Chains A and B, each alone.
Chain A
Amino acid sequence: GQQLNQSPQSMFIQEGEDVSMNCTSSSIFNTWLWYKQDPGEGPVLLIALYKAGELTSNGRLTAQFGITRKDSFLNISASIPSDVGIYFCAGPINPGSNYKLTFGKGTLLTVNP
């Protein structure tokens, strides 16, 4: 099945710094999704991308759908302590077919105040 390679696995940054993480795939995706998971909670959708080259922002978060359709990145600007959590990229395993998702392994973000 389709595999998503997400990096980095973890990041330790100071408050105020910018963060960047990315996902790559060997297969083409028609949709890229970015989720954040707080400890003990379910993932929350941050940004959904639907078109190659699309650049979408949600507050301090910006995500892009790579032109090749095989990659996506998520940037967080001016990080704050509440940005701590695990960030997952995801995409539909079989586009148009029952919405099953495949996930990256996640990026654990730690923000030092």
Chain B
Amino acid sequence: GAVVSQHPSWVICKSGTSVKIECRSLDFQATTMFWYRQFPKQSLMLMATSNEGSKATYEQGVEKDKFLINHASLTLSTLTVTSAHPEDSSFYICSAPLASRDIQYFGAGTRLSVL
């Protein structure tokens, strides 16, 4: 079945550094991918829609300069958390829709810890 690969699964970084998270659709193409943030014991919060070949669409309240999204190919989207601070520590999850079935497949998530 359709698989979405997300890397890394866990990252620890110092405050002020930038972290890049990759999301790949392994056996299907995705012109659109989604990035979510999840706080403990809460549901997924959509951060932005990644669009292949064009700018990402950010949800209200999400800083586009803080969370840089690049969708350079039909199988890869990246999220870069710039100048990370402890409050950016969270669980980040990507997803890609399988258009033929109107569903989304999710990556395994990335646990970001900013010291």
Contact = CB atoms under 8 A, between A and B. Distances in A.
Nearest to B45: A103
A105 B38 CA distance: 11
Nearest to A30: B102
Interface of A is mostly: loop
A81 to B, nearest CB: 20
Nearest to A105: B43
Contact of A92 (B6, B43, B102, B109): B102
A88 B43 contact: yes
Given A100-B46, A105-B43, A106-B43, A40 B101 contact: no
A25 interface: no
A48 B98 CA distance: 12
A65 B72 CA distance: 37
B103 A42 contact: no
Contacts, number: 58
B26 interface: no
- The size bracket of the interface on B is 20 to 34
Given A40-B91, A48-B102, 8 more contacts: A33-B103, A40-B109, A40-B111, A42-B108, A98-B32, A101-B104, A105-B43, A106-B43
Interface of B: 4, 6, 32, 34, 41-44, 46, 49, 91, 93, 95, 97, 99, 101-109, 111
27 contacts: A30-B102, A31-B102, A33-B104, A35-B106, A40-B109, A41-B108, A41-B109, A42-B107, A45-B103, A45-B104, A45-B106, A48-B101, A48-B102, A50-B102, A92-B102, A99-B34, A99-B97, A99-B102, A99-B104, A100-B49, A101-B34, A101-B95, A104-B43, A105-B43, A106-B42, A106-B43, A108-B41
